[in-house]
Amino acid sequence: MKTVAIVLAVSLSAFILGCAQDEVINAPTDVLSAEFSKPEPSNSQTIMLSGVVLDPSGFNQLCSVAGEITYSFILGTDPSQTGCQVTSLSLDVEGSVIQGEGNKEVWPFGSSSELAVCLGNDVNSLEQVYTLVGREDNVALHILLQYDGNQFEVGSMWLEQPIAPSPDQEL
């Protein structure tokens, strides 16, 4: 009991001495007068991907596309680009292309990217190309994003197979 009383007395003394200091900490005046600029709010949205595309690999089968695009963007201006809004665009895309009814082939796609695009002057669309994982013929999914002044939306989607170079062309 004597030990508890000593510990209590020491703790109370330390508390009283700690609170008794009347030193005022002054912040530097340059920090108080600085103006902190807040970044412009970003617009973050998700677009659900859902549609049917034609497989160009020679069989002309229909494939369904499922997934989502999550994007955020910040509008700015560039004095060197007349009538243009330079947009910092962040895209996160994930999904799959599914071929067939019963015995389904599934090819996933996706990526994350940071882009700087110029919107305006009749340029309000952006084409993105995504490699389909598991396809040996290099067929890729193309997604055309369109900006309506407030948000992006999917304008169209299609599968495209790269054109093989002719034998006389150098690789």
In this structure, is residue 146 part of a structural domain? yes
β-strands 105-120, 62-75: how paired? unpaired
| Inside any domain, residue 168 | no
Residues 49 and 143: their CA atoms lie apart, in Å, by 10
Strand arrangement, sheet containing 105-120 = 43-54, 62-75, 84-99, 105-120
26, 86: one domain: no
- Is residue 116 in a domain? yes
Give yes or no: residues 59 and 25 share one domain.
no
User: Residue 171: inside a domain, yes or no?
Assistant: no
Say yes or no: 124 and 58 in one domain.
yes
Phi, then psi, of 6 in degrees rounded to 5 = -70, -45
Instruction: Looking at the structure, tell me whether residues 9 and 50 fall in a common domain.
Output: no
Strand partners, 131: 140
Q: In terms of domains, do 66 and 119 share one?
A: yes
DSSP string, 75-89: E---TTSTTEEEEEE
Q: Give the span between the Cα atoms of 87 and 77, in whole angstroms.
A: 8
Do residues 15 and 84 both lie within one domain? no
Number of domains the chain contains: 2
SS3 31: helix
Residue 165 lies in a domain: no
Contact (Cβ atoms closer than 8 angstroms) between residue 66 and residue 49: yes
Q: Which domain holds residue 124?
A: 43-160
Residue 126 forms part of a structural domain = yes
CB 144 within 8 A of CB 127: yes
Q: What is the pLDDT along the chain (171 residues), one digit of tens a residue?
A: 555 444 444 444 444 444 444 443 333 333 333 333 333 445 689 999 999 999 988 777 899 999 999 998 887 766 566 666 777 889 999 999 998 776 688 999 999 999 888 777 666 888 999 999 999 888 999 999 998 877 889 999 999 988 766 566 555
Three-class DSSP category at 17: helix
The answer to whether residue 38 sits within a structural domain is: no
Q: Kindly state whether residues 58 and 79 are assigned to the same domain.
A: yes
Provide Rg for the chain, Cα atoms.
30
Q: 170 lies in a domain?
A: no
Which DSSP category does 27 fall into?
P
